[in-house]
Amino acid sequence: MWSASDEALLAGLASGDAEAAAAFVRRYQARVFGLALTMLGDRELAEEVAQEAFLRAWRHADAYDPRRSCVATWLLSITRNLAIDRLRMRRSDPVDPSEIGDRGEVLWGSGGAEGAETEVVDLRDALASLPAEQRRALLLAALFGYTAREIGAIEGAPLGTAKTRIRTALGKVRAVLTEGDA
């Protein structure tokens, strides 16, 4: 079961196969919990979100399209969306720029995801090609769910500038990654 492909485990999970479901959870729990914890900064909330992410994966397994993304990315995007929902409910306090300004940089830099999967190496390279302010804006949005308005406040930049940074950064990362695929 441990050697089964991600897709096969997901199919097993969808069909209610206990062994496949257990293997699926074991394979991805550190990633899912890690992302939830990164975004929420609270272990209890992160566990709630991580559990919910696996339930959603089970419910929506039939909608997974391998042509669009790998299983890990699909599952992590479910996790991120759930975490963003929680953040929206919780984040009523004013943002403290000094506390979070560099959070994204830490993840992007050497202290980030361990392991050297090709995708992660490619992502880091793509991010390295961005000006620091664009990189920070993109990571604050993608990994912490901050809106353009919040990023503008954190960075001390007008809303329009924050929006432009996010848009330009994501476009550039996409271009670099697509180039790598070609």
Partner 1 sequence: MSEACDRTRELAAELALGILDGEERGEALAHLSRCPGCRRHVEELSATADELTLLAPRVEPPPGFEARVLGRLPLAGARGTHRRPALRWRTAAAAVAASALAALAAWFATHADRELASRYRDTLAVADGRYFTAKPLARPSGNRVGTVFGYAGEQSWCMVLVRSYEGEPAVSDGSYAVELVRTDGRRARMGRLVVRGGSGSLGSALGFEYRELRAVRILRPDGSVLATATLH
Contacts to partner 1 from residues 62-91, by CB under 8 A: 62-63, 68-69, 72-74, 76-77, 79-81, 84-85, 88
Asked if 61 interacts with partner 1 (CB under 8 A), we say: yes
CA distance 32 to 77: 10
Asked if 1 interacts with partner 1 (CB under 8 A), we say: no
CB 10, min distance to partner 1, A: 12
Interface with partner 1 in residues 37-56 (CB under 8 A)? 37-39, 43, 46-47, 50-51, 54-56
CB 27, min distance to partner 1, A: 10
CB 3, min distance to partner 1, A: 19
Asked if 117 interacts with partner 1 (CB under 8 A), we say: yes
The string of DSSP letters for 125-178 reads HHHHTS-HHHHHHHHHHHHH---HHHHHHHHT--HHHHHHHHHHHHHHHHHHHH
Closest CA to 143 of 158, 127, 160: 127
CB 159, min distance to partner 1, A: 11
Site string for partner 1, 11-40 (x = CB under 8 A): --xxxxxx--xx--xx--xxx-xxx-xxx-
CA distance 33 to 25: 11
Interface region with partner 1, contact rule CB under 8 A, candidates 1-9, 94-102, 108-116: 108-116
Amino acid in position 164:
T
Interface with partner 1 in residues 157-176 (CB under 8 A)? 163, 166-167, 169-171, 173-174
CB atoms within 10 A of CB 19: 11
Closest CA to 63 of 140, 11, 134: 11
* Helix H or strand E encompassing 117: none
